[in-house]
Amino acid sequence: MEKLVMENWSRARRIVFTVFCAALFIGAFIPLLVDILLNGHFGWSIIVLGAILMAWLIIAPWFILRRSRAAVSWAAAAVSVPIFLWIVESLGTNKGWLLPLGLPAAAAGLAALGGLVWLWNRSRLKFWYAAALTFMLIALLSFAEYTLARPFLIVDPSESVRRSVALYLAGASLLLGLIAASVHGRKPFKDKP
């Protein structure tokens, strides 16, 4: 019975991956076709193609691999996101934002994501402690992204909202830390197998 379930799961995964790839192919082909027909060359559609290739590189490991899917997906993001940002700056009308804003923001996001991948896949922290650290990482990321973007914002009507998000996330982290302490006590790590 277990073998049949695994075969059905594997078949379903292949079907979903095939549909996913077909949807991405169509999503890439149509803009390329429209761009070449309207402009006689590839221009803006290269951005669409880059985004679709980046999405495929990040999501495909979840379908193809059996182990280390999160780590490989993160590595694909770490490589493809800066390249995609460079493509967007190169083909866009606004220049000069990649080094002072794009790459630092991407690095902060990728560092936080890498921390989350490690936290949930490699660390031996118990659930509530891991949840508290997750919210703290997201709060730090929110604060870092706000700090990086602030010099580039001419008028920021939602400045108080942006600051509040980081504070609410830090508060949620503190609350989860208290829950972790009451549930797990002074033993934040799982026992070694």
Phi, psi (rounded to 5 degrees) for 155: -130, 125
Q: Helices marked H in 45-186 — which ranges?
A: 45-64, 69-91, 103-121, 127-149, 159-184
pLDDT of residue 49: 96
pLDDT of residue 10: 83
Mean pLDDT of 157-162: 71
What are the sequence ranges of the domains in the chain?
Answer: 1-95, 100-193
Q: Which residue has the higher pLDDT, 49 or 193?
A: 49
pLDDT of residue 151: 81
Please, which contacts does 17-20 make with residues 24 or more away whose CB atoms are closer than 8 Å?
A: 17/60, 17/63, 17/64, 20/59, 20/63
Q: Which two tokens stand for residue 4?
A: 């049949």
For residue 156, pLDDT beyond 70 = no
pLDDT tens for each residue of 79-134:
999 999 999 999 988 899 999 999 999 999 999 999 999 988 888 888 888 899 99
pLDDT of residue 157: 65
What amino acid occupies position 65? L
**Angstrom distance (rounded) from CA 45 to CA 29:** 9
pLDDT tens for each residue of 167-193:
888 899 999 889 988 888 777 787 776
Average pLDDT, the chain: 89
Q: Is 36 helix (H, G, I), strand (E, B) or coil?
A: helix
Q: Which two tokens stand for residue 138?
A: 């997201």
Beta bridge partners of 189: 125
For residue 53, pLDDT beyond 90 = yes
